[in-house]
Structure 1
Amino acid sequence: MAEKGYITLAFDAAQTERRIKAVAGVSAAAMGKTFREGWTGNAPASEQFNTLDAVAKQRTAEANGAEPMYVP
């Protein structure tokens, strides 16, 4: 819990302390695994394959001049 306190303190101080020029935060997370297996890690393989197929089609379309697709 101490780590969270120190990080929170740094961000709070950066809001009012003029001498602090930048603050960076790092969160250890396997984003690739999260996108592949879902947030809870139990996405079925069929859903993963559907996502991969959709990404491949969009990548090919963009390579052929289509507008990029942005997903929120």
Structure 2
Amino acid sequence: MKINCLSCGHKVDLDDVYDDYQGQIRCLVCAAMLEIKTEKGQLRSVIWTTVSPSPLEAETDGGRFDNYPQT
């Protein structure tokens, strides 16, 4: 089964283990979290979810350097 990421449009390939599944998956291209529900190999719903950063990411700004002053 393939699902298009709602954030970037990348096709996310899912194994057969996701034929009857409800939960989150992550796009490997843009790291968007998608909440999906599948039944009998058919997609029933998909929602683009936002995930709050872990405490370490919040403290360190997720390791990004774009907020630091230029030298």
TM-score (norm 1): 0.23
Greater relative contact order (Cα < 8 A, sep 6+): 2
Structure with the bigger percentage of helix = 1
TM-score (norm 2): 0.23
Q: Which one has the largest radius of gyration?
A: 1
